[in-house]
Amino acid sequence: MLQQYDVASAQKTILKRVPLDDMEVPQSLLDSIRRLFGEALSPAQAVDRILRDVRQRGDAALVDWTVRLDGMAPGHAELGGFRVSSTELQEALDQLPAAQRQALELAAGRIRQFHAAQPVSSWMTNALGGTLGQIVRPVQRVGIYVPSGSAPLPSTVLMSAIPAQVAGVCDIVITAPAQKGSGKIAAVILAAAALIGIREVYAMGGAQAIAALAFGTQAIPAVDKIFGPGNLFVTLAKRQVFGVVGIDGLAGPTETVVIAEAGSNPEWVAADLLAQAEHDVLASAILLTPSAELIGKVQAAVAQQVELRSRAAIITAALANRSGAVLTADLDEAVALANAYAPEHLCLAVREPWRLAEKVHAAGGVFLGEHSFEVLGDYVAGPSHVMPTGGSARFASPLNVLDFVHIVSLVALDESTTRKIAPAAIEIASAEGLDAHANSARVRL
């Protein structure tokens, strides 16, 4: 069930990164697009149709696409059925089981405390003449997309919205797909939003939700930046609206790499791999280890544990598609492979995790030791669980307070400094052939 690879074969298969545009689209998805649109279109072309329609027709298009794609009308009373009322939000929180509420409160407190410690401040200096500096300002209005398919994710509400609150964002909008049949968002997502004081929530999903956030409609004001993971259509929509609004990144299927050794606990390693594999049939759960004996034990533990999991079919598909165990020469080679792969999650299930951590330079999050397992990071550790995927951990960071602010440069030079540096500006402008630029500096001299 958990296939073993040597390094060379793994680099050609499960450790090989495929760009978004080169990913193979299942024929079943292409057939579904043909049925819905009446012609053969690529996913990107289908998304473009939806975006342009919502931009042109607003709420009417939003309702039409929700009915066409989700097979149902929106089920809320406000703003054409999309806006969740404050009453419904509060009722969801009031009806939440006490144990769940306590768990969400614990998570929210830790997430807020972690992000409040992040250094984010304006600064100024007089060392260069006059005053120069940077002013940090929060983004005014953001939209957060919360997946709500087979597994509603209240944790994503907390992990995305709380950093925005810490940053001082004025308006935080949450959108989540409605559940099939009801036209309403899963109650646990609404409860999480109410718990942290989010009051603007819309029951809409897919590319049409991204369009509404980016362009605005008659009833839904546009946002300045869009956050949150989603399916292929959500990801393509975010890419296409970038520039009209900001985006946090392009999220792909979840992925985890576990580096372990002979003395690692095979039951724990197997459990950690399955925890990620149950997200999605495209999820990646990869073990890197120099111990062939450990691979055998983990394979046996995986086979035994899968039978007990409620999402066994998804796990089995994920393990067969993009997962496996790779036998490495040593732990250093395992780290080198991990760095090249740049995983969303990197778990160092070894005796001396800090030694390996010093060599890690490309990962969304590093989990040190067998007691710092990744599931705690998903829910309650503190850092946001929204992390870069698809190899983007080479250059991108986990969601944090800085994602919700922007920097404004401040230039307040005194006259003597202006006279000192203006001649250099004139020279550079003249070299660029921009005479009006040069004159703007020259007239002041």
Q: How far is 50 from 54, CA to CA, in rounded Å?
A: 6
Whole-angstrom Cα distance, residue 347 to residue 357?
10
**Which residue is associated with the tokens 């989603």?**
230
Q: What is the DSSP letter of 176?
A: E
Secondary structure (3-state) at 344: coil
406 among known catalytic residues? no
Cα 169-241-404 angle, rounded to 5 deg: 20
The one catalytic residue among 88, 344, 370, 374: 344
Decide if 91 is catalytic: no
- From the list 320, 311, 318, 265, the residue with the least C-alpha distance to 291 is 265
Provide the β-strand partners of residue 405. 138
The answer to whether 289 and 259 have CB atoms below 8 angstroms apart is yes
Encoded amino acid at 378, one letter: D
Catalytic residue among 345, 370, 374, 385: 345
Closest to 152 measured CA to CA, from 68, 207, 96, 105: 96
Residue 432 DSSP symbol: T
The answer to whether the CB of 175 falls within 8 A of the CB of 145 is yes
Q: Which helix (H) or strand (E) holds 232?
A: helix 232-241
Cα four-point dihedral sign 195, 196, 197, 201: negative
Residues with a catalytic annotation lie at 344-345
